[in-house]
Amino acid sequence: MSVMSIVMAALVIGILGLFVGVFLGIAGIKFHVDVDEKEVAVLSVLPGNNCGGCGYAGCSGLAAAIAKGEAPVNACPVGGESVGKQISEIMGIEAEESVKMVAFVKCHGDCEKTTVDYEYTGAQDCNMLAFVPNGGPKTCNYGCLGYGSCVKACPFDAIHVTDGVAVVDKEACKACGKCVAACPKGLIELIPYDASYAVACSSKDKGPVVMKGCQVGCIGCTLCAKNCPADAITIDSFLAHIDQEKCEKCGACAEKCPKKAIVSV
């Protein structure tokens, strides 16, 4: 290769590099997007789990919403109160009081306490049981199916199936709501972390029907409501429900429940 060829090659590469540099510089100016410093700061203190529990598409989506004033500073369920306070300082506003929540499975009819109509050997996924007879092998059509759709959905390994029923680890749960959305039976709800009692049943059948399928199902007898000094319990469709804001944590409801459907949480 001659010296002239080497010089020409170097010249061509140099000109090409200059052209690319100028093009990228112009493109950078033309497509420049102003970055909101508050958005960046908020994103830096968010936990980065991108669980979607806040209702936005990941932490970046929430950070943008908070910076625009479209979401509260304590909207991150994973970060909780501590992250909410940090974000409130960034935004220069006072953080709203938040209540730590935790997921609770409204069923404790395990394998020993429930009856089954047949043996199921199909796909181990709760959502698939919508296509099998009676919505699953358990006699109770409202109970936990126990095939772990909620377990697969939880990004924090906070829920596991034990003896045929999903159980939440309160300390690991971040109240992101993924399990709530994943349960096809609607058995999981978010309750205050410091709640003392909850109804571990979702059946809306009448008492005699409930007792045929489960030993610990709510039969709608109203004894819990009658003995609650705070009037915190209501009965709807043969099923008891505790208003956690009214509950005084006295335990009278759990003590009086003949089926032990109200449990300590």
Q: Are 95 and 74 in contact (CB under 8 A)?
A: yes
Give domain limits for the chain.
Answer: 37-91, 101-194, 196-265
Q: Which residue has the tokens 């001659």?
A: 2
* Fold of the 37-91 domain: 3-methyladenine DNA Glycosylase II; Chain A, domain 3 (1.10.15)
Provide the b/e sequence for 230-250 (b: ≥16 CB within 10 Å).
eebbeeeebbbbbebeebeee
* Whole-angstrom Cα Rg for the chain: 28
pLDDT in tens, 115-139: 999 988 888 899 988 788 888 899 9
Q: Is the pTM of this model over 0.75?
A: yes
* pLDDT greater than 80 at residue 177: yes
Amino acid present at 150 = C
Mean residue pLDDT of the chain comes to 89
Identify the CATH number of the domain defined by range 101-194: 3.30.70.20
Confidence grade of residue 4 (pLDDT, cut at 50, 70, 90) = confident
* pLDDT greater than 80 at residue 22: no
Would 101-194 and 196-265 be classified into the same CATH topology? yes
* Average pLDDT rounded to a whole number, residues 219-240: 97
pLDDT confidence of residue 238: 96
